[in-house]
Amino acid sequence: MVGMGLPAITMIFNFDSASDLGKWYTVNDTVMGGISSSRFELNEEGHALFTGNVSTANNGGFASVRFDAGHIKTEGFTHIILKIKGDGSTYQFRLKHQKSDRHSYVYDFDTSGKWESITIPLSELSPQFRGRKLSMTDFEEDAFEELGILIGNKKDQSFQLMIDQIRME
């Protein structure tokens, strides 16, 4: 139950053919010498399309897309909902309370190859840095400034994830 007159749903991003992807950007393992690659664009149907190849060569192994969210308040909300169509791979949803934080709050989710809604409890986002869980509390913040999706399954693979919308409930 959402109290204090807050809305029951907040749309973080609803992709369509007119979407401006200017605040979205990819970050791959090339920042540390790897050779993975990815793209983030709108497809013909107006869905976001995150595609690429993950390579474990040169100690690499991840590709990610991030959204500079500004300052989105989470007070009164308990879940993030992703409406996605994956490729059967496991992905990570990631939040940063402050964009300058070194750590992210992470939640792993599997995809089925079909359109589905992934429900991510905010309280189950665990703090991690470079794949290691940190000795900190899970997400308890009242806002976030960055969200992202990462693929890094410790194997070489091509990937494709379509995103229709991201919202809070």
| Domain boundary assignment for the chain | 10-168
Token duo for residue 54: 């993950």
> Residue 16: which pLDDT band, with cuts at 50, 70 and 90?
very high
Predicted confidence (pLDDT) at residue 86 exceeds the cutoff of 90 = yes
pLDDT at 130: 87
Segment 85-98 shows an average pLDDT of: 98
Predicted confidence (pLDDT) at residue 154 exceeds the cutoff of 60 = yes
From 3.40.50.300, 2.60.120.430, 2.70.98.10, 1.10.1660.10, which CATH number describes the 10-168 domain? 2.60.120.430
Query: Looking up tokens 């990631």, which residue turns up?
Result: 94
Predicted confidence (pLDDT) at residue 13 exceeds the cutoff of 50 = yes
Segment 139-164 shows an average pLDDT of: 97
